Amino acid sequence: MNPNFHVFSLSQRAAPLAVREQLALNEAACRQLLRTLRTAPGLTDVLVLSTCNRTEIYYCAGQEQTAVLLDALGQVLGRVVSARQAAYFVHLHDAEAATRHLFDVALGLEAQLIGDQQISHQVKRAYQWAVEEDTAGPWLHRLLHTVLFTSKRVQQETAFRDGAASTSYAALELTETLTAHLPNPTILIVGLGEIGTDVARHFGASPRFTCVTVCNRTRAKAEALAAGNSLQVLDWADLVPGLQAADVVISSVAAAVPCLTLPLVQQLTVLSHKFFIDLSVPRSVAAEVEQVPGVLLYTLDDIADTTSATLARRLAAVPQVCALIAESLADLAQWSRELEVSPTIQQLKNALEQLRAEELRRFSKHLSAAETQRMDELTKSLMQKVLKYPTRHLKAACQRGETGPLVGLLTDIFGLEATLAGYS
């Protein structure tokens, strides 16, 4: 385990939507934050994860970097992160706890809807950005490969991801509840990003809803999605008439400020009830729209965990998921311990190779070319056999956490450089 691994986390566990939306980062902002932290002294292996429910910075450093992180975050946001906002962040300095937290997040244990596999894709994308922005070091590479491999095992070996239970599916279930009294409700889905697209597909596959329309700034994207899911398409320019006709409006528009504002909704004639479900962070539906009589607004924080059979199966699979995480953490710890002694093994190999080469040169003066080649092969084979025993004992000592005395002994016997392994 990398002893210098930390996580600076803001999530739905502690922070309300009103705070999370102020600190949410899009791709450009995440990349900018990575570039800013890449030049910060003492920071390595930086990963920035920002979703609808969390904004997190994972990093390695010899000491906590709260002030540096808040300053960098403020630069990216274009405003100072207030003390009130900063108070919602949780800073995990214990390396094992920080590592376990990333597993829990990536596998869906920390998701608002447990088992939501969308977060796994978001973590993978965040890792890709870290690689492209050159903030991923050896530790982060190994950690993320292990996390993503474990996520694949969870998918294949457990029921934790079975069935449909995600934020987008929860929007469908909520809509079913809200429109139970309507024989053929009209649904309008506004914004076709990752979540909006998932929502549209769920509605397209549902026999309950036959009048579903999608509206996106880019009409071509809406048409492509509608064609494969039996949906209707609305031009962005016709948004207001579409809002008027809809019983339920589901919005996931990515924007810094709400696009469905109070003045816009005030243009509508609401005869009974009109429901808005906002799946965006920052919010795309202004909170004030509920001032309009008959308008009811639901946000991410209003979408509680579904009590469906799917959720029950997922909860039953949690112990299996935790067992897989424990295996992966043990493998990571073993890899980390072996990494500590790899410089000693390499130095020992170099020292023996130097002795072998010197002796071969000394004796080759009296040997033919063929004999020299055979002697070269013989001494290389002998050196590998000699190396096998200390290497095996070093790795065994790693498992026991007792490498110190053995490294010191080998260093003294073979005159190796006494260097400490670190994470670059």
Q: Which residues are catalytic?
A: 52
125 is an annotated ligand-binding site residue:
no
Q: What is the DSSP letter of 80?
A: P
Q: Say if residue 192 carries a ligand binding annotation.
A: yes
Q: Which is nearest to 137 in space by CA: 55, 66, 60, 65?
A: 60
Instruction: Consult the annotation and say whether 118 binds a ligand.
Output: yes
**51 annotated as a binding-site residue:** yes
Q: Is 350 annotated as a binding residue?
A: no
53 annotated as ligand-binding: yes
The answer to whether the beta carbons of residues 43 and 57 sit under 8 Å apart is no
Which DSSP letter does residue 48 get?
A: E
116 assigned to a ligand binding site? yes
Fill in the DSSP letter of residue 270.
Answer: -
Contact call for residues 189 and 203 (beta carbons, < 8 A): yes
Distance of CA 383 to the CA centre of its chain: 44
Q: Which two tokens stand for residue 92?
A: 């995990």
Element (H, E) at 382: helix 369-400
Angle, in degrees to the nearest 10, between helices 369-400 and 309-364: 140
Question: Are the C-beta atoms of residues 175 and 248 closer than 8 Å to each other?
Answer: yes
Q: Is 410 annotated as a binding residue?
A: no
Q: Is 215 annotated as a binding residue?
A: no
Element (H, E) at 226: helix 219-229
Residue owning tokens 């429109």 = 179
Residue in this structure with the two tokens 């975050």, named with its chain if needed: 73
Q: Is 187 annotated as a binding residue?
A: no
How distant is the alpha carbon of residue 300 from its chain centre?
Answer: 19
Q: Is 54 annotated as a binding residue?
A: yes
Torsion angles phi and psi, residue 284, rounded to 5: -105, -10
Tell how far CA 209 is from the center of its chain: 33
Quote the longest CA-to-CA distance of the chain: 105
Known binding residues for NADP(+) are 191-196
Known binding residues are 51-54, 116-118, 122, 191-196
Known binding residues for substrate are 51-54, 116-118, 122
